[in-house]
Amino acid sequence: MSISPTILIMIKNTLTNTLSWLLKPSYSLMGRLSFTRKGLVLSFIVAVSFAVITESLYGQLNSQIKMAEKELQGLTILPPILKLTQLMQLHRGASAGVLGEVTIYKGVTVGVMGARHNSSVHLDYLLNKKRDLHRDINTSFETLERVLPEVTLATPRWKKIRAEWRHISSNGMMWSRDQNFNRHVNLIKLIARVRGELMDEFGLLNHPDTDSFYLIDTMINGVIPVQEYLGQVRAVGTGILSKRRLTQEEILKIGILDAQSNEAIESLKYSLSKTSEHNTEISEDLNKASKAISSEAETIFDLVQKDIISEKFEVNYNHFFDVATVAIDNSYITLYEVLLPSVEFLIKDRLACAKRTLWINALVALGMIVFLFYFMLGIYRSMKMDIEEIVNQTSGFSKGDFTKRISLQHSTEFSSIGQSFNNMAESLVLLMDKEQQSLDRIRAIVTSSQDGLIQMNAQGEIINQVFKNSRGDIESLS
């Protein structure tokens, strides 16, 4: 279906009128300004546009830099809080072994007072271990509190953690083994919540960078759950082996822990494999760690199945405690020496890249502004020279110097003006030359015929009125 010419003309006129209406403020403003001021206005508009774009880009990059610096600050808190968790898990296991060896009468710990079983040497090992851990945990609290934010130290949760630890360290050996175990578990959960809140506060959870996300996810949802489940298996198994008795409730409890640990290890192996795919530079270390944790965990599960659940109790509880500790400590080594340094490296690399990009963009923006103003000044200078050339030549021509011509160095929009003026000047001069030639011919004719036309008196005056009139007419034309 074709559109009629009338409709096309109407559409064209409507668009033209609309465009004129939209541009009217611009026309009105620019029409009142001199050429120099127009250039200044345009320069100002361009400068503001560049400033807005640059500021937006700077804001985004600076936000990335601030976030990376914040993440690095958060990473400095993770090692001491993980160390505190590690020591607290060890303390739980040692306490379970000691409480399995002692007999409690009316809340008084006889074992601590000297009434022990024949395996006092084994008990001394765990008692010394527990004493050392008590000292190390207090030191770990002091180290952690030096790097924790003041707002965290002032929270009710952290105050509860400190109070709970004082309660456990003062009264823990007067509780039952299950009560002591449960209080340790709850305290470790509180510490884990503080750790999660800190990681969220410092932007380490749900990390936008894929490589860092998998590393952090492996730590939080892979390694740390395995450590806690294995730590609980260590405590329960050490307590059962130290008393050499197994109740139905304990069979169920250690069986559940065994299953949870196996499930957590399978999840960890998957997480480590995914992390290896996105962090190829540490894939070999991650694969070794995965195999080592699986192998050592299998050793623990094998002892649980063959010696504890089968009720043989042939393995010394100190040996079980040490085997489990080696496996758990190796997983912590993976955290301290592989995962955390890798996350730190990626964040520092991203920080350096953001800073480098910021500087490059700043230099590029500055260069573009200089480049733009350089050429804007060139345009201004070129146009001004052309205008001055046109003004000078036309002014000279108007004062009678008909040799004046416009000569522009470059081919621009002003060239057509100059060419038009030059053509007009040439035509005008040619017309004037022709008119002058006509006058010269008339003058020559009149001059050549003056002998037959002039009548003079005795005083030499022309008395022929026809010649006077003709001569006056010729002179007036000149």
C-alpha torsion angle, residues 239, 242, 244, 248 (rounded to 10): 0
pLDDT at 139: 96
* Cα–Cα distance measured from residue 202 to residue 74, given in angstroms and rounded to the nearest whole number: 5
* Cα–Cα distance measured from residue 15 to residue 46, given in angstroms and rounded to the nearest whole number: 27
pLDDT at 273: 85
Contact 271, 214 (CB under 8 A): yes
**CA R_g for the chain:** 50
DSSP string, 312-336: ---S-HHHHHHHHHHHHHHHHHHII
- Phi, psi torsion values for 176, nearest 5 degrees: -70, 165
Cβ-based neighbours of 344, under 8 Å, separated by 6 or more: 72, 75
- Which residues share a beta bridge with 462? 456
Q: Which residue has the tokens 């003309």?
A: 9
pLDDT at 442: 82
Contact 98, 125 (CB under 8 A): no
* Cα–Cα distance measured from residue 12 to residue 17, given in angstroms and rounded to the nearest whole number: 9
* Residue pLDDT tens, the chain, 478 long: 566 777 778 887 888 778 778 777 776 776 666 767 777 777 787 778 777 877 887 788 788 888 888 888 988 999 999 999 999 999 999 999 888 766 433 344 444 434 344 456 667 888 888 899 999 999 999 999 999 999 999 999 999 999 999 999 999 989 988 999 999 999 999 999 999 999 999 888 877 788 888 888 888 888 899 999 999 999 999 999 888 888 888 888 888 888 888 888 888 888 888 888 888 888 888 888 888 888 888 888 888 888 888 888 888 889 999 999 998 998 899 889 888 888 888 888 888 888 888 888 888 878 887 887 787 777 777 777 888 888 888 888 888 888 888 887 766 677 788 888 888 888 888 888 888 888 888 877 766 665 555 555 666 665 555 455 555 554 554 5
Return the DSSP state at 109.
E
* Cα–Cα distance measured from residue 323 to residue 302, given in angstroms and rounded to the nearest whole number: 11
* Cα–Cα distance measured from residue 182 to residue 180, given in angstroms and rounded to the nearest whole number: 6
Q: Which residue has the tokens 């995962």?
A: 339
Cβ-based neighbours of 404, under 8 Å, separated by 6 or more: 393, 394, 396, 397, 425
- Which residues share a beta bridge with 456? 462
CA dihedral (273, 279, 284, 286) positive or negative? negative
* Cα–Cα distance measured from residue 468 to residue 474, given in angstroms and rounded to the nearest whole number: 10
pLDDT at 30: 67
428 token code pair: 């005008």
Other CB atoms within a 10 A radius of the CB of residue 426 amount to 12
3-state class of 13 per DSSP? helix
Helices 413-448 and 340-398: angle between axes, nearest 10 degrees: 10
- Which residues share a beta bridge with 108? 105
pLDDT at 26: 73
Strand pairing of 108-109 and 104-105? Answer: antiparallel
Return the DSSP state at 104.
E
- Read off the amino acid at residue 400: G
* Cα–Cα distance measured from residue 274 to residue 278, given in angstroms and rounded to the nearest whole number: 7
Q: CA angle, corner 298, sides to 297 and 302, nearest 5? A: 120
* Cα–Cα distance measured from residue 467 to residue 282, given in angstroms and rounded to the nearest whole number: 120
- Which residues share a beta bridge with 109? 104
Q: Characterize 112-144 residue by residue with b for buried, 16 or more Cβ atoms within 10 angstroms of its Cβ, and e for exposed.
A: eeeebeeeeebbebbbebbeebbebbeebbeeb
Please report which residue ranges of 148-223 form alpha helices under DSSP H: 150-153, 156-171, 177-201, 210-218
263 token code pair: 């499930």
pLDDT at 136: 95
Counting DSSP H helices and E strands in the chain, the numbers are 16, 2
Other CB atoms within a 10 A radius of the CB of residue 338 amount to 21
Pick from 376, 310, 380: which is nearest to 46 by CA?
Answer: 376
